[in-house]
Amino acid sequence: MHTIEISAATWKHLLDFRQGVVDMVPLSDPAFAIYGPIAGARASFVLAQVGQSLDGRITTPSGDARDVSGPDGLAHLHRCRALVDAVIVGATTNARHQWSRAHLS
């Protein structure tokens, strides 16, 4: 995995594309190539994203999953979550997370 820098203007364009405010995104830009198809999905669309370490673990030995895929993986996860209509999380995530109205709207 490598870092994809996304400017505020690029992120706004992706969010506008998701809402139908703009009709297209330039797929030549790495950020649009990755997130454009997700933001532009108009029919039923399922995306599965799992963070794991290079050795295939999904948690640390203590059960923590926050840093298992690194900061770039976590940024990717949150970008994907921001571009979809619904997110399914595991029971432990649900129990441990401090949900706010921003997460539920």
Residue type at 5 in one-letter notation:
E
CA dist 31 and 81 (Å) reads 15
Yes or no: say if 49 and 58 are a contact pair by the CB < 8 Å rule: no
Global pTM value: 0.74
CA dist 7 and 73 (Å) reads 18
Q: Residue ranges per domain, the chain?
A: 8-104
pLDDT in tens, the chain (105 residues): 567 889 999 999 999 999 989 888 787 888 998 999 999 998 888 888 877 777 888 877 777 776 777 788 888 888 998 898 888 877 877 787 777 766 654
Q: 7 CB contacts (<8 Å, ≥6 apart)?
A: none
